[in-house]
Amino acid sequence: MRPGWFLSCCALALLAAGCKTDNVTAKKKAARLLDATRYDSADVLVNALARRCPYDTGVLRLQVQLYSAERRLREATDALRRHDSLVGAHDSSLAVTVLMSALKNGDEQVVVCAIGACGELALAPLFTSVRSALDDRSPYTRCVAVYALPRYNRDSTAFLLVPMMLDDNPVVRAEMLKSAARLGDTAMLQLTRALGYLETNDYVIWNYMVMCAVLGNGGMADRVRRELNGKHDVLRTEAAAALVRLGEKQRLPTVAAGLRSSEESAREAAANALGDLHATEYLDSLANCALDSVEPVREAVAYGLGEMGDARGAGAVRKLLTDHEAAVRARALIAFARLKQPDVDQIATAALVDSSCAVRASAVAVLLAAGTKIP
């Protein structure tokens, strides 16, 4: 390591960490380093600033620029998503540049993360890329595309998603059921048009009717009931949840049964659905799943307990606040706030120094929502 470079890094770190340092000056310095392509020095300064000011949107923007310049696209995409959730707005040109690069990356995890971010940010220039992902060979990529498209809130979305009910992967079909439920009344009009185009295909019409049932057409509920006899627990769970939304409350035990499935995706789906349905009669069963060995399931449990809004679930959520996975801690913090626990401000303040940026961002969101001054 060159001595000059080491001393430069130390000086930059001290600049960012000093108690009397002007953060504005430090951010300007980091921007100049990025413009000069001095990425090693910029990395030291930007990360030191991020540790000191985890809720500063200017610092998050610098992180996105740095990670993008260094081709660390997964980190850039994650930082971009935090940036948007933190302030409710984003730099569209920067977002498009970063996500376009991520979508062209050969790493499937990077692409999947980018498609999810495209949906959350609903950036118009990237709609075509998300739509194209419906034809990807990877079921994970197709699944996240099905998740992302409805968030663009376009009239054409329903027609694009109809064929996905025929996907050969049960997880993709399950995501389709959830996406259909989010599309709303406009989707019904588009699905009617879609039926006119696809009426020669009996299988597509059959699945079209399933979507109609999920969207609220009770006359088609018998189509959804057929999913209850499928061989995949995740589809049975999602179908039962759809029927509950249509008024068949007797299907709730089938939804809850998903918590006992050997399929990880079914347990996750059940936890999310029980929360969405506010099925507090299964609160204890859901709370017991807080010890599940699979991280996405524990995250879904935190979500479900928060959505139920019943203070009896606070004990399980409190345990999840110390989970070893950052995604679980972040979700648990939001759930804890929804349960209106008296010490939520204290816990959120303590989480501002969590090792995970996702947890720190959740802590800021909780404190801002409560009107609490951030220290």
Q: What is the pTM of this model?
A: 0.54
Domain ranges of the chain: 1-53, 261-375
Classify 374 as helix, strand or coil: coil
261-375 placed in CATH 3.90.1300.10: no
Distance separating alpha carbons of residues 301 and 306, to the nearest angstrom? 8
Contact 274, 244 (CB under 8 A): no
Sign of CA dihedral 190, 192, 196, 198: positive
Task: Write out the chain's pLDDT in tens, 375 residues.
Answer: 444 444 344 444 444 444 334 677 888 887 887 778 777 777 777 777 777 776 566 776 777 677 666 656 556 556 555 554 433 344 466 667 767 777 876 778 778 878 887 887 777 888 888 999 998 889 889 989 988 888 887 767 777 777 776 777 877 877 776 776 666 656 555 655 555 555 455 445 545 555 555 555 555 566 667 778 877 788 788 888 878 877 889 999 999 999 999 999 889 989 999 998 999 999 999 999 999 999 999 999 999 999 999 999 999 999 999 999 988 998 899 899 889 888 999 999 998 888 887 788 788 878 877 777 666
Classify 25 as helix, strand or coil: helix
Distance separating alpha carbons of residues 123 and 94, to the nearest angstrom? 11
